[in-house]
Structure 1
Amino acid sequence: MTRVPRPSRKWVSAQAPTPHTRRKTVRLKRISAACAALTVSAALALTGCSGDSKGSGSGGNGGSDQAKTTDINPQDRDKLKQGGTLRVAITQLPTNWNILAVDGNQVDNSDIFYWTGVNTLESNDKGEVSPNKNYLTGWDVEEAKDGQPQKVTLHINPKAKWNMGRQIDWQDYQSLWKACNGENKAFTPASTDGFDKITSIEKGETDQDVVITYKSTQPDWQAPISQLYPREMTSDPNMFNSGMTEPNNDYLAGPFIFDKIDKAQRVATIVPNPKWWGDKPMLDSVSFRELEDSASSQAFANSEIDVATFINSDGYNQAKNRADGEIRAAGSLQWRHVTINSQARNLGDEKVRQAITRGINREAVAKSDLAGLPVANTPEQVMLGNHFFMPGQEGYADNGEKWSYDAEAAGKLLDEAGWKLPEGKKIREKDGQPLSIDYMMLKDVPTSENEGKLIQADLAKIGIDVKMVTKAQDEFPKFLIDGDFGLTTFTWQGTIFPMNNIGQIYGSDSESNYARLNNTKLDELRDQADAEMDHAKRVDLTNEIDAMIWEEGHTIPLYRRIGYVGVPKNLANYGSFGLESIVPENVGYVK
């Protein structure tokens, strides 16, 4: 069976940060199993909320030539040989191994967790969710009616035990809920979405029956329960927030365990878990090696690693030179964007942010970033006009059409905001001060630099001076959390619950609201969307919220990524997953 991606958003690393759900130090929130993640490069990413909850058989990148929904060379276990290693390139070795903490909400971190942690859900290539029977034998859902709230009872597999030896039980879920529901401000989760809709978690007939009661209706109730840690870790805010500077096998219960962390070589190695009760893993070991994107492409071409993700033509073309390798491609849940910090210098005025939105030629940025990749010839397939739904997906509407590139319209917005262009000058002024803003660029991340230079040139045309400020990759996502930037670009990675984590990136109370914009009307609509059981009405509410986000100049979507993943030809059940979740114990080499 396939495993479902976590329901929160995440950020990705430096080249194109991809977020899972993330949170700010300014009290922004992150989404857990249904969150988004962020990335700085193909590499650095955060996890977030966008994704596909329904899926579509033909893919989801829009246009008539849609990408596959998944490309992993699926094979039954009896077709695979026992043994072998898998060497995976990642962008950043985590500094906080808790994927639910605001600064642990990275795609690399979450990807490793799929092998080692408790992932209670599975999803197929259409994004359809089912319980991972290794952890949950099933669930019962009592829908809200006659004034009674929605109630869900999870049935934990009696065989499921933490590596410390204790059975997984209802108290682990209760402790996780209390850490992530936002009531105890000592905890800094990436997101409270979903958790904040729960009124209680109690014991059912046995310790392995978890009774979850919701405030009212909760259409995406599975989202917050998709990943789990033991109460020994989640009950203490210090441990939850910053106690996982090293991975702790006792707090995990996956098919693999950590064997060694080589900080000098920047490599994490995992091996089969001797206490695992499910199908025996096919591989002998998996290593995750921190490499810059350019280095990972060359390492793959030289057969020094087995898995690399390519986001530009240089890496793609290098990968094609490997005789025993191939590139697998599918529609990705990652999307590049510009985040505008509303509390930074000269960015507090909505009209200025709107002018920036209209002043950036998004299609030109996409064409430049994607140059040399197969999709570069049809960029319209990946241009993104929505903060929640992907092109080609049910619910998708291009709400950004109103904010398309128009330098003249951008100039008028700046005029209305009082920023005038003095005769003979190129930079606008107001009260004698120039209109200057900072773009935070990640060192040695070509995508970040390329986008920064294009944005700088575009905004210069409308009289805005963009100062390029360089940050090291290991300062990501700290500068997001600290608010130490004006504009920056990175990647959010969505999940299969696109409407579940609206509050993670855009909610006023979220640690992951890196734009630092508070909008009470948006919060009210989010609460309505979170409880709306009529799917069509919920889609309409989500698109209303999306239009509002465009209007206020919070985040500017650029384009959706196609996931290009280089792997050995004989590797099975691994590659570009799209909406499908990984089954680590089934990854292996064909006989």
Structure 2
Amino acid sequence: MSNDGVGLRAVMRSVAFLTAGALAVPALAGCSSEDTASKPLAEQDIAPAARDQVADGGTLHWAVDALPETLNTFQADANATTTTVAQAVLPSMYRLDANGRPQVNPDYLESAKVVETEPKQVVLYKLNQQAVWSDGREIGAADFAAQWRALSGKDSAYWTARNAGYERIEKIERGANDLEVRVTFARPYADWRSLFSPLYPKDVMGTPDSFNDSARKKLKVTAGPFRLKKVDRKDGEVTLARSERWWGHPAKLDEIVLTAVPRDERTGALAAGDVDLAEIDPESLGRITLAARAGAKTGSTPLAGPGGLSAHGSGSNLGAAAALRSWAVAHEDGEEAADDEAGAGKKKREAALAYERQQTALKGFEVRRSLEPAYTQLALNGASGPLADERVRRAVARALDRKALAKAVLTPLGLPAEPVGSHLALSGQDAYADNSGALGGQDTEGAEALLADAGWVHGGPVKKENGEKAEEGEKADKGEKAAGAEGEKSGGTSEKESEKKSEKSRKKSDKESEKSEKSKKESREKSDNEDPADDDSADSEDDKGDKGDDKQYANKLAQGGAPAGAYAPKGTPAPAAAATKVLAKNGKALALRFVLPSGPGSETLRTVAGRISSMLAKVGIRTEISKVSDESYFKDHIASGQYDLALYSWPASAFPATDARPIFAKPVPAADGSLNVEQNYTRVGTDQVDQLFDEAVTTLDASESRSLIRKADSRIWAAAGSIPLYQRPQLTAARKNLVNAGAFGFQTPVYEDMGFLRKGAKPASGPSGN
């Protein structure tokens, strides 16, 4: 559900990322000279173990979303795998601790501090005297200078994706000796710690040709616990091997193999033994949880993979009939359908047995869970239409119950469900403060008052296309049909399949409701098939769900925490109560186009969107759901402004004054007459916010900079261009004997400590999986 790596700053701030897989790399937490009361909402979960408990050798097979298009993190097409490789093989001056705060990385840096502020800011880096490149050359000022020149923005021949901070440098010199580097800034720069992480050798950064091409497919010279061995695009693998020239603690693993595995294929890859570590979606979490429970009930020993299958080849503790029943239930066909499986055909029986083999193999895994350093937000496009009016945007925000949305996604996953209170930081980061009070919490009456003030009134006349007036009910019905047509157009075949599945679920619910006698289990299932968006009590019942009911729990997890039916499929008529609240202004109904990705990894987004739509309907705002392909969602809709409402995520940054400014900068007209929005895809910004960012990035007083960032966040809340909802969950399936790896949370992975437990050893106490 997230990307695998955590970089010191966002590698691609120009691209947001989706639930199905990150399109940007989360950045690190803020840095200051003093601690604050803020703590991460969830600890990292990596099965920590001391190095002497970790076996020497072995290969870690790690699933990633895609192979890197480039190995240069400063190029526009860098991705999460690019960052993972860079973290393992290249120098980084800082790394994060478990609380999300950058610390000097002693493997490369003895110290770094501001030694002069007048007349210019000067930072002195003292390097580790053992730090050398894999070709034997010392890491030094020449490498720092080459990277500065490449990223300064002064030479357009370098195809760089970003240069923030580097453009403020005036010069870089050798210090008192070869181990010292003096960096002089032309203008004060508070976020100087963001620079030179990662650091590439001068051979890569020295010329435009080498920068643009030499590091795209290979890295000849490295300086980390691992080296790049090969990139195999045919097999979809990147192999990292233990570096013989590494001066720090030697890597425990012989190799790390990063394998591109689609999200919806990872359960099978885990069960087949093809991967040992993989971020997964809630559906896979449900299956691994059920496998663990089955193992606990039977007392069976968890198997390492398909090699542990039984003599009959199934590796299952169940007979053929029980396997068919388990498979049918897991595929949401219900107990009654499972009874009918007795006469199932050969293909169904084979599928059921394959499912049971997978479940047996999955007993060798556990799910490690934390929260990503990233948050999901509701974006409101303020460029035109009803949302160009700040009052309407604020009404949308006031209609939302952010706590309920966070609970729907996170509580069933065993994670703390706290709404995010800042656009610029997350709990645990120095700059974090809950500034949502600048906009206010959920308030239906307040939202309706704002809409009325903006001229949107109940029962207002709505013009037909021919100019005649339409009755309100007629308009509502027509609008819902239009919304369904839009969904049909954008959803294609997958939409039809989704509708059939939803219709099947509704028929099942109707059938169950006709029965007078129900067991406790059937009652819970029926409850999960009702939309709780109209009844706040439903959320609390979800939270109390009996996890002993395997089917009910697995289904809830597969829904991303939301009960089935919470997302109304295309064409579903609005509730009668909602139809009576249609608002109109100047002959036009208040309807917002809600654009969503349609891919299999975006179920959680669609569930959240369904709940949001229900909340907005209560104040008279209709939403027209439009599903588009994952490939076009961001580029063709979010970045181009073809939406009213949308859900996507931003990484939290260690350096918000630098990295967040373009996301919230006020759009300005470009020379060609277009609007330059930088990365502000909501098109909402103010001069005051821009000024606060400018002040925060130039002050060297950490406390003052933090105060300015928080003020900027309050102004961003008040403008209501985007509404942070919840911190993204991070679910990672790991082989049970794999340690020092999993859901990393804020902390930078320590690649040299990853490995498999020695025989008889146990991981240290700490957060565990299932």
- Shorter-chain TM-score category? 0.7 to 0.9
* Whole-Å separation in 2 of the counterparts to 1:182 and 1:527: 19
Q: Within 5 Å, which residues of 2 pair with 1:159-558? A: 160-162=131-133, 167-181=138-152, 191-205=162-176, 209-215=180-186, 217-234=188-205, 243=213, 246-250=216-220, 252-263=222-233, 265-300=235-270, 303-310=273-280, 312=282, 314-320=283-289, 321=291, 322-343=362-383, 347-370=387-410, 372-375=412-415, 379=417, 382-391=418-427, 396-401=432-437, 402-419=439-456, 422-423=460-461, 424=472, 425-426=475-476, 435-445=591-601, 446-461=603-618, 462-473=620-631, 480-481=638-639, 483=641, 485-497=643-655, 501-508=659-666, 511-558=678-725
The answer to whether the 8 Å contact 1:154/1:210 transfers is yes
Shift of 1:343: 3.9
Give the corresponding residue for 2:8.
Answer: 7
* Comparing 426-435 and 446-455, the one that deviates more: 426-435
Shift of 1:450: 2.3
Deviations 1:50-71 (A, max 9, x none): 7353697998345xxxx33x33
Q: Does 1:124 align with 2:97?
A: yes
The answer to whether the 8 Å contact 2:740/2:753 transfers is yes
The answer to whether the 8 Å contact 1:23/1:510 transfers is no
Q: Does 1:153 align with 2:124?
A: yes
Q: What secondary structure is seen at the aligned counterpart in 2 of 1:388?
A: coil
The answer to whether the 8 Å contact 1:190/1:511 transfers is no
* Whole-Å separation in 1 of the counterparts to 2:728 and 2:587: 42
The answer to whether the 8 Å contact 2:24/2:80 transfers is yes
Choose which of 41, 57, 60 in structure 2 pairs with 1:83: 57
* Whole-Å separation in 2 of the counterparts to 1:188 and 1:469: 34
Q: What secondary structure is seen at the aligned counterpart in 2 of 1:353?
A: helix
Shift of 1:83: 1.3
Q: Within 5 Å, which residues of 2 pair with 1:557-568? A: 557-568=724-735
% of aligned pairs identical?
26
Q: What secondary structure is seen at the aligned counterpart in 1 of 2:379?
A: strand
Q: TM-score, normalised by structure 2?
A: 0.63
Residues 285, 539 of structure 1: CA spacing in aligned structure 2 closer, same or farther, 3 A cutoff?
same
Counterpart code for 1:550: W
Shift of 1:562: 4.7
The answer to whether the 8 Å contact 2:46/2:740 transfers is yes
Residues 99, 455 of structure 1: CA spacing in aligned structure 2 closer, same or farther, 3 A cutoff?
farther
Larger Rg: 2
Deviations 1:247-277 (A, max 9, x none): 3213644333334444455433322345545
Residues 392, 7 of structure 1: CA spacing in aligned structure 2 closer, same or farther, 3 A cutoff?
closer
Counterpart code for 2:368: R
Q: What secondary structure is seen at the aligned counterpart in 2 of 1:386?
A: coil
The answer to whether the 8 Å contact 2:422/2:433 transfers is yes
* Whole-Å separation in 1 of the counterparts to 2:684 and 2:168: 22
Q: RMSD value over aligned CA atoms? A: 3.7
Shift of 1:537: 3.0
Q: What secondary structure is seen at the aligned counterpart in 2 of 1:112?
A: helix
Higher helix share: 2
* Whole-Å separation in 2 of the counterparts to 1:350 and 1:252: 51
Residues 327, 133 of structure 1: CA spacing in aligned structure 2 closer, same or farther, 3 A cutoff?
same
Shift of 1:96: 4.2
Give the corresponding residue for 2:526.
Answer: none
* Whole-Å separation in 2 of the counterparts to 1:60 and 1:301: 36
Shift of 1:556: 1.6
The answer to whether the 8 Å contact 2:125/2:182 transfers is yes
The answer to whether the 8 Å contact 1:328/1:575 transfers is yes
The answer to whether the 8 Å contact 1:327/1:564 transfers is yes
Counterpart code for 1:296: R
Choose which of 8, 14, 31 in structure 2 pairs with 1:23: 14
Q: What secondary structure is seen at the aligned counterpart in 1 of 2:217?
A: coil
The answer to whether the 8 Å contact 1:293/1:315 transfers is no
Deviations 1:331-384 (A, max 9, x none): 542222233444476644433433333344333332332352113xx52xx211
Q: Does 1:93 align with 2:67?
A: yes
The answer to whether the 8 Å contact 1:71/1:575 transfers is yes
Residues 273, 346 of structure 1: CA spacing in aligned structure 2 closer, same or farther, 3 A cutoff?
farther
Task: Give the number of the structure with larger relative contact order, counting CA–CA contacts within 8 Å between residues 6 or more apart.
Answer: 1
Shift of 1:553: 2.5
Q: TM-score, normalised by structure 1?
A: 0.80
Residues 247, 224 of structure 1: CA spacing in aligned structure 2 closer, same or farther, 3 A cutoff?
same
Residues 50, 274 of structure 1: CA spacing in aligned structure 2 closer, same or farther, 3 A cutoff?
closer
* Whole-Å separation in 2 of the counterparts to 1:190 and 1:512: 13
* Whole-Å separation in 1 of the counterparts to 2:680 and 2:265: 32
Residues 505, 232 of structure 1: CA spacing in aligned structure 2 closer, same or farther, 3 A cutoff?
farther
When the two structures are aligned, how many residues end up with a matched partner?
551
Give the corresponding residue for 1:44.
Answer: 22
* Whole-Å separation in 1 of the counterparts to 2:390 and 2:710: 20
The answer to whether the 8 Å contact 1:49/1:499 transfers is no
